[in-house]
Amino acid sequence: MPRRTMIEAIRDAIDVSMARDERVIVYGEDVGFFGGVFRCTAGLQAKYGKSRCFDAPINESGIVGSAIGMAAYGLKPCVEIQFADYMYPAYDQLTQEAARLRYRSNGDFTCPIVVRMPTGGGIFGGQTHSQSPEALFTHVSGLKTVVPSNPHDAKGLLIAAIEDPDPVIFLEPKRLYNGPFDGHHDRPVTPWSKHELGEVADGHYTVPLGKAAIRRAGSAVTVLAYGTMVYVAQAAVEETGIDAEIIDLRTLLPLDLDAIVASVKKTGRCVVVHEATLTSGFGAELSALVQENCFYHLEAPVARVTGWDTPYPHAQEWDYFPGPARVGRALLETMGA
């Protein structure tokens, strides 16, 4: 099976979707001729023409707002916001329009759009190239929120998102674009070509939205993670030797609660890990759900390892980013060690 980077997998997902359905339209800033600042749309304009893949003005509200109009017409726009940090001008359109259109019109109009956004830190991106705003989407009724962690899932989830009848926020951890990253910034990064999840089948396949994946089966503690933190958690587990079960959530909403509850009921302990800031982050929702659904099985408080409640700094990158050492400490504490 061919191996692809996450960038190539995303590009392939869009390519497959555009070939299968001529209603799929792709645009965003630098997305057309140039093929995207991360190359995720490279070659698509040449292949499908300027009517299907084109450059947009630097106007996030305009990109999402026009996509909503296109969806109301009957197309399936898959648009890009260059960095998740720059989605805020489009937040009104995403939360009040895209998310509500089906509900408020009782299905008279719908909004099958995908909004792709590179997300996450670990790249010295500073304050506006590192944010993880997923909680700002999961809090909005009517939006689906997806975060892949590897090329195989990225392709399958993106095709599923494009085919989904509802608006999907597709957050791509840019730290994982070229290879997995476990937080050990002092070590060389291995490319996806050396990783089994870099195997990406040709052609059409989907990974269903709303289904988590168990990345490591274990019995001592459940780790809930997504995106880059899946690999950080794996490193922390290897380094502490704790027999943890690592669940890659993949979709934050709808959430695979059954998988979470089954695992925590088995292990009796839970550590939630995300890059985003702590307070009112998605980890708070996960922690509350575990507490509500697994209270009598819990043998320790649910722990959260997250970014600090500060803007994402530049020079202090590795003091901010929740790396394997911090995750490892939380695992040990949760085990009562």
Residue ranges in contact with another protein by CB under 8 A: 25, 51-52, 56-57, 59, 61-62, 65-70, 72-75, 77, 89, 92-93, 96-97, 100-110, 141-142, 144, 164-166, 210, 253-255, 257-258
- 161/221 with CB nearer another protein: 161
Residue linked to tokens 């909503």: 68
Q: How far is the CB of 49 from another protein (least distance, A)?
A: 10
Q: Which residue, 202, 200, 222, is CA-closest to 212?
A: 222
Q: How far is the CB of 68 from another protein (least distance, A)?
A: 5
Task: Give dist(CA 7, CA 158) in Å, integer.
Answer: 12
- 54/308 with CB nearer another protein: 54
185 included as an active-site residue? no
Identify whether the C-beta of residue 187 lies closer than 8 Å to the C-beta of residue 169: no
Select which of 129, 139, 195, 274 is catalytic: 129
Task: Give dist(CA 250, CA 256) in Å, integer.
Answer: 9
- 24/237 with CB nearer another protein: 24
Q: Which residue, 55, 45, 37, 36, is CA-closest to 15?
A: 45
Q: How far is the CB of 112 from another protein (least distance, A)?
A: 9
Strand partners, 251: 146
Q: How far is the CB of 256 from another protein (least distance, A)?
A: 9
- 70/159 with CB nearer another protein: 70
Alpha-carbon radius of gyration of the chain: 19
- 104/314 with CB nearer another protein: 104
Q: How far is the CB of 60 from another protein (least distance, A)?
A: 9
Identify whether the C-beta of residue 277 lies closer than 8 Å to the C-beta of residue 310: yes
Indicate which residues carry an active-site annotation.
129
